[in-house]
Amino acid sequence: MDIAVIGSGMAGLATARILKDAGHNITVFESLPGRGMDSHTVEFDGGIIDAPLRVMNPYLWKNTLSLATYLGIKTFPVRTYMACSWLFEDKTETWLTTSRAPIGNFPIINNRKGLQQYGVRLVKGMLQLKTAIHRFFKSKNQNITLTEFINKNDIEEVFWHGAVMPVLYTICTCNPKTIGEWPAKPLLVFLSQLTSGVELLRLQGGTPAFVGKLIEGITIHSGAAVTKVELKDDKVLVENQAGTQQLFDRVIVATPTNKIEDFLNPEQFAEDLQLLKQFRFEEGDLVIHTDATVMPPRRKDWAVLSYMMDRHFTRQQFTVWMNAIEPTLVGKNPVFQTWRPVTPIDPKKVISTVKLTRAVVNSQTVELSQELQRRQKASDRKVYFCGSWSCDGLPILESAVTSAMQIAKNLGAPIPFVGLKPKPEVAPELGY
């Protein structure tokens, strides 16, 4: 079949690759100039900055890493140490830094102050969380939110809000209140795997290498937004701002649902629009910069992930130290990514600011996703919808690939990468 894919984020490109390799003719439409998934990648000081940075747990990013392995993308292990600091006081105080145990690769506290002041509370919180998770997965009612899970369990505040929530904040990239409304189950699965000691992986060549393989041999019309999608007899017409018009047998819409009213025929797709408009999204700024004030005051406390928060846990930000995790930036001037900064960043040191859109996940969107998947199983369907927003899983990149796999299944396309496991190469020298 001739198939159009609208949107070249992870969901769109994964769908395009699967269907292309199943023998279909694929055309991708992208409003941005280039490829959506790596459109925010920046070249800086001779190195590559992925925006956002992607570091993957092989258990939680199973489908994404299997797809990369299928495409011949190699991986290498990385260690994401963390540092937590108190903000908005006379001086910034780093109260916790972590490393990994030499045997088992488990996270451990490695600073004396953290051990003396918070060691007992953090260990207690870890044990409380493990017990609570174990009890949750043995219970009959697992359809609760994360906030409901916390309210049911007594977990040390400094451990939960100071160490656990910042990590969830990093993965979900949405505000803490939204994370509280998230179904507890996928988040607790994530937390269980987080402390398993498994090494995290990065893709060699970063996102651009992945995108290059995904789009290989596929026609892409970029730099012009799609303006029309409408049914024409047994075909679907797609038109973009550049005046490109083409009829397709099937169309896959792989964009956030808050964009679809711009091009979907409102009469032909009235029922779909009514459902899709109920999905919610959040936006936030990811600032790429060279301002080291977002890091702990002492250089020896710097870590890949730097979390800063007030003592009441009402304001927080997290920063990725890129040189510690990107081989092409090792030995270069320090460069950072800060998500939704609450402390001022010197405008002269800003390289770029990226606005990221993230789907909100809650009990309502889970029901909406289930209804959408039910509708898309209809044999006479010609227009499908996919994206990370259409799955309730975690993390976002994995949800996007999973949604692509669902579309492929609906169209009867084989998924050639299921079960493939990455074989990490020797880790490059990184600037820990």
Q: Which two tokens stand for residue 406?
A: 């669902």
Verify that 263 and 129 share a domain, yes or no: no
Residue 428, domain member (yes or no)? no
Contact 322, 388 (CB under 8 A): no
- Overall number of domains in the chain: 2
Quick check: is 73 in a domain? Answer: yes
Domain that holds residue 261: 2-40+205-279+362-410
* 323/67 Cα distance (integer angstroms): 27
Amino acid at 163: A
Shared domain for 115 and 194, answered yes or no, is yes
Same domain, 197 and 223: no
User: Does 249 lie in the same domain as 146?
Assistant: no
Please tell me whether residues 308 and 349 are part of one structural domain: yes
Asked whether residue 383 falls in the same domain as residue 240, the answer is yes
Contact status, residue 396 vs residue 358, Cβ threshold 8 Å: yes
φ, ψ for residue 28, nearest 5 deg: -105, 135
CATH number at residue 182: 3.90.660
pLDDT of residue 432: 43
Please indicate, yes or no, whether residues 79 and 209 belong to a single structural domain of this protein: no
Alpha-carbon radius of gyration of the chain = 22
Q: Please indicate, yes or no, if residue 152 is contained in any of the structural domains.
A: yes
Q: Is 427 inside a domain boundary?
A: no
Contacts of 184 (CB under 8 A, 6+ apart): 136, 142, 144, 145, 146, 148, 149
CATH number of the domain residue 33 falls in: 3.50.50.60
Q: What is the pLDDT of residue 430?
A: 62
Is the link from the previous residue into 395 a cis peptide, with omega within 30 of 0? yes
Q: Contact at 8 Å (CB) between 399 and 414?
A: no
User: Tokens representing 33?
Assistant: 């100039």
Residue 74 domain-assigned? yes
Domain identity same for 183 and 237: no
Quick one: 398 and 294 in the same domain? no
Q: Tell how far CA 364 is from the center of its chain.
A: 21
Element (H, E) at 14: helix 10-21
Q: Per-residue pLDDT tens for 58-109?
A: 888 899 999 999 999 999 988 788 899 998 778 888 888 887 655 445 556 6
Chain center to CA of 350: 23
Length in residues, the chain: 432
Tokens 């007594």 appear where? 154
Amino acid at 409: K
Q: Say whether both 133 and 193 belong to one domain.
A: yes
Q: Of 314, 312, 317, nearest to 284 (Cα)?
A: 317
Tokens, residue 397: 């990149």
Let me know: does 160 contact 125? Beta carbons within 8 Å: yes
The answer as to whether 49 is a domain residue is no
Tokens in use for 353?
């600011």
The amino acid at 245? Q
Res 209: pLDDT: 92
Half-sphere exposure of 123 (CA within 13 A, CB side): 8
- Final residue of a structural domain among 328, 358, 388: 358
pLDDT in tens, 6-46: 999 999 999 999 999 999 999 999 998 888 888 788 888 99
Query: Under a CB-based contact definition with an 8 Å cutoff, are residues 26 and 411 in contact?
Result: no
| Domain-located, residue 16 | yes
Q: How many CB atoms lie within 10 A of CB 167?
A: 17
Q: Both 118 and 166 in a single domain?
A: yes
Q: Tell which phi-psi region holds residue 64, choosing left (phi > 0), alpha (psi between -120 and 50) or beta.
A: alpha
Q: Which residues contact 153 (CB under 8 A, 6 or more apart)?
A: 128, 129, 132, 135
Residues 336 and 232 in one domain: no
Please report the pLDDT score of residue 392 as a whole number. Answer: 65
Q: Is the dihedral of CA 282, 284, 286, 292 positive or negative?
A: negative
Say if 161 falls within a structural domain.
Answer: yes
pTM above 0.85, yes or no: yes
Cβ atoms 351, 42 nearer than 8 A: yes
Q: Which of 325, 358, 391 is the last residue of a domain?
A: 358
For the chain, list residues with pLDDT below 70: 100-111, 113-114, 194-198, 392-394, 426-432
Q: Which residues of 60-72 are buried (b: 16+ CB within 10 A; e: fewer)?
A: bbbbbbbbbbbbe
Q: What is the pLDDT of residue 109?
A: 67
Measure the CA–CA gap between 319 and 316, rounded to whole angstroms.
10
Predicted pLDDT at 179: 86
What 3-state DSSP class applies to 301? helix
Rounded to 5, what percent of the chain is helix, strand, coil? 35, 25, 40
* Confidence at residue 90, expressed as pLDDT on a 0 to 100 scale: 80
N- to C-terminal Cα distance for the chain? 50
